[in-house]
Amino acid sequence: MYNNEFLIGCCYYPEHWDDSDLDKDIKKIKDFGFNVIRMGEFSWSMYEPEEGKYDFSFLEKAVKCARENGLYVILGTPTAAPPVWLAQKYPEVLCVDANLNTMYHGGRQQHNHTSKVYREFCKKIVEKMAYTFKDYDNVIGWQIDNEINCHRSLSYSDSDNRAFRTWLKNKYNTIDELNRCWGTRFWSLEFNDFEQITCPYPAPAYKNPSWVVDFLLFSSDAAIEYAKIQYDILKRITPDKFVTHNGIFGNIDNKKFTDEALDFMSYDSYPAFNERHKKMGGRDCGCRLSMVRGLSDRFLILEQQSGPGGQLNYLLPTPEPGQIRLWTYQSIAHGAEGVLYFRWRTAIYGAEQLWYGIYDHDGKENYRSKEIKKIAEELTKHSKELLSLKGINQVAILCEYHNVCNNQIESFAGDDFNVIYNYLNKQNIKCDFIYDTKDLDKSDYKVVIVPHLVIASKETADNLKAFADNGGAVILSARSGTKDINDQYYRKTPPGVFSELVGAEVEWFTRIPECSEQEIEFNNKVVKAETYYEVLNVGEAEPIATFNSGFYKGKPCFVKNENVYYLGTYFNESSACVYEDIIKKYIDIPFDDLDKCIEVFNYTEYTMFLNYSDKKVSIPYTVHDLLSGKDINEMEGYGVVLVKNIVE
């Protein structure tokens, strides 16, 4: 990622502490074993206390101190938290929710991305910041903004209305074309002029789905355009420094975001959010980490959990001894080339008093600080090995943003890609996320999972057919291929554009009533349909699963047409075993004799084992752990083992 070094460090906020703390804090951070700190992303009110009056002196002092102590620095642009004078003098910069409530100064992300006034102030502060730090050789990179769309992902202000109309004009050119694509003759929604169109505010009845999906697509483009303004400035003034962002959040096409406005995507990893629900729930964070890896082959963790996280109305579980190390290696196993812990010391004031860092409010050593210090030593010692963890997964899951938008408005069905991913992950079937089908024919994937691709084109169908014709397995599921890019239904029997590929059509379908359930006979086992299911009329396809009750008892629910599978239902954790059975026909699954609490990552030169249980777990062979330097045949609770060439 940078200078062939694994980056290990923390987020540090010099503005939160007395000036006298700076030198001793930075020295302690260096002595801790860290080589990088992230600073500066929430300090606009200090950089520009009054309009046009800039002062970066406190941050310059911190950057210089870091340089003197041999620390790299990643700086964040401060645009996620504008100063109060800006909002008071220019209220048009404020975000407005769907009920026309203005988001006032008092938290963060209260601005809207489309305000021309706000964008101009962002340009000025980012440009001033870039010029100020361009010659500091220890400043190696930039983080644009902070967690864009974390707290709110949509805005309905006057500037959003204006920007939405411009976006629609560029897309449709004429109002007649928009009316046609939106189907506005339904319920007398026809527009005579683009100026009549607003963001989709609440209405007595349900809103036009094409209108809402376009608004979601526009909102994504607005956020990306807002980020790209900063990216272009930073690359123009500091071309030697990388530009990233700590995503990923809602209502952004993160693939487009990465391609157009970043050098690579990064991530903030907080597994304790999942630990609220169940033991070993932190393992499911691998889904998001894999999504980031699909955006950027290698990336940074700009915030790695180091303590119990919390806001005023919640508090996450405190990491148990060993869990921080486990979660750190979870990030690395998925492709992180650097890990920065949030944060060095817990804030004594403000909204994140309960968001604990490496040190508590008292600044004293604790079990977490001791554990992280040992992790830093270990990561530094094994930097070369960790940076060489390269591997190719054989299974991909398609996550196409247009359908993500559609699933928001057709929420009766939702989506189950995360359920499928998490189930397969627990069987140590590793999956990548892909965001388009156009390059599938050039990939090394053996299986591509296409969950509920409601909006689909003939081009997508052709791409999947080419992949299947080349020997790859395509697994489609219920409601696929039924809508075009305007969110209008095809005048075709489902699965619409995929009918020829699937070799079957939907004869009957239903949303499962809450008072009933449906079971499916598949591969000598019984699985339950989830949410919605379809009865299939088989043409050229081969039935591989049938219903076992109802007037359609014995009729197909799953079919196979050469290398194409169509599964006419949604899935939960217990029924997702269907995917495992199909995938095993196309790839070999190593280490299927391990306890299910152990996750395995098999790379070209190395194999990593992660134990998500708090108990010791035996493994059925003796291996040499490079991290401990010992031969072992069992893993400690929350243990991590790195082995060279166990499987080549």
What pLDDT score does 193 carry? Answer: 98
| Sheet strand arrangement including 519-522 | 431-434, 395-398, 447-450, 473-477, 564-567, 556-561, 542-547, 519-522, 525-528
What pLDDT score does 3 carry? Answer: 80
What pLDDT score does 4 carry? Answer: 87
What are the structure tokens assigned to 65, written together? Answer: 């101190």
DSSP track, 398-438: E--HHHHHHHHHSTTT---HHHHHHHHHHTT--EEEES-ST
Give, for 343, the enclosing helix (H) or strand (E): none
CB 68 within 8 Å of CB 116: no
Q: Is pLDDT at 646 greater than 60 in this prediction?
A: no
What pLDDT score does 255 carry? Answer: 97
Going from the C-alpha of 97 to that of each of 154, 170, 636, the distances in angstroms are 7, 25, 49
Q: Over range 74-79, report the average pLDDT.
A: 98
- What is the tens place of the pLDDT at every residue in 260-286? 999 999 999 999 999 988 889 999 999
CB 48 within 8 Å of CB 56: no
Q: Regarding predicted confidence, which is higher, 152 or 236?
A: 236
- Which residues belong to the active site? 147, 303
- What is the tens place of the pLDDT at every residue in 400-431? 999 999 999 998 887 899 999 999 999 999 99
What pLDDT score does 320 carry? Answer: 97
CB 86 within 8 Å of CB 112: no
DSSP track, 466-533: HHHHTT-EEEEETTTT-B-TTSPBPSS-TTGGGHHHHTEEEEEEEEPPTT---EEEETTEEEE-EEEE
CB 422 within 8 Å of CB 451: no
Q: Is the peptide bond before 248 cis (omega within 30 degrees of 0)?
A: yes
What are the structure tokens assigned to 192, written together? Answer: 């005579």
Handedness of CA 186, 188, 193, 196 (dihedral sign): negative
Q: Is pLDDT at 516 greater than 90 in this prediction?
A: no
DSSP-derived 3-state class of residue 640? strand
Share of the chain above pLDDT 70, in %: 99
What pLDDT score does 501 carry? Answer: 98
Quick one: pLDDT band at residue 648, thresholds 50, 70, 90? very low
Q: Using CA atoms, how far apart are residues 469 and 463, in angstroms rounded to an integer?
A: 10
CB 460 within 8 Å of CB 486: no
Q: Using CA atoms, how far apart are residues 613 and 426, in angstroms rounded to an integer?
A: 13
Q: Is the peptide bond before 590 cis (omega within 30 degrees of 0)?
A: no
What pLDDT score does 1 carry? Answer: 62
CB 412 within 8 Å of CB 526: no
CB 413 within 8 Å of CB 467: no
Angle between helices 209-237 and 254-261 (to 10 degrees): 30
Going from the C-alpha of 443 to that of each of 288, 341, 422, 434, 435, the distances in angstroms are 22, 34, 23, 11, 13
pTM listed for this prediction: 0.97
The distance of Cα 38 from the centroid of its chain, to the nearest Å, equals 21
Question: Please, how many CA atoms are within 13 Å of residue 237, restricted to the half-sphere of its CB?
Answer: 21
What pLDDT score does 277 carry? Answer: 81
Q: Is pLDDT at 323 greater than 60 in this prediction?
A: yes
For Cα atoms 414, 409, 519, give the angle at the middle one, nearest 5 degrees: 25
- Select 598-644's CATH number: 3.30.565.10, 3.40.50.300, 2.60.40.1180, 2.130.10.10: 2.60.40.1180
Going from the C-alpha of 16 to that of each of 42, 106, 361, 452, the distances in angstroms are 11, 17, 12, 47
* Domains 7-153+222-387 and 598-644 alike in fold: no
CATH of region 395-583: 3.40.50.880
pLDDT, averaged across the chain: 96
Least Cα distance to 77 among 241, 299, 257 occurs for 241
Q: Is pLDDT at 290 greater than 80 in this prediction?
A: yes
Q: Over range 477-491, report the average pLDDT.
A: 97
Q: Using CA atoms, how far apart are residues 594 and 284, in angstroms rounded to an integer?
A: 18
Q: Over range 127-133, report the average pLDDT.
A: 98
What pLDDT score does 557 carry? Answer: 97
Q: Is pLDDT at 647 greater than 90 in this prediction?
A: no
What pLDDT score does 466 carry? Answer: 96
DSSP-derived 3-state class of residue 166? helix
| CATH H-level, domain 7-153+222-387: superfamily | Glycosidases (3.20.20.80)
Quick one: pLDDT band at residue 101, thresholds 50, 70, 90? very high
What pLDDT score does 384 carry? Answer: 94
Q: Over range 634-643, report the average pLDDT.
A: 97
What are the structure tokens assigned to 370, written together? Answer: 């001791």
How do strand 314-315 and strand 310-311 relate by DSSP bridges? Answer: antiparallel
What pLDDT score does 439 carry? Answer: 83
Where are the chain's structural domains?
7-153+222-387, 158-212, 395-583, 598-644
Q: Is pLDDT at 393 greater than 50 in this prediction?
A: yes
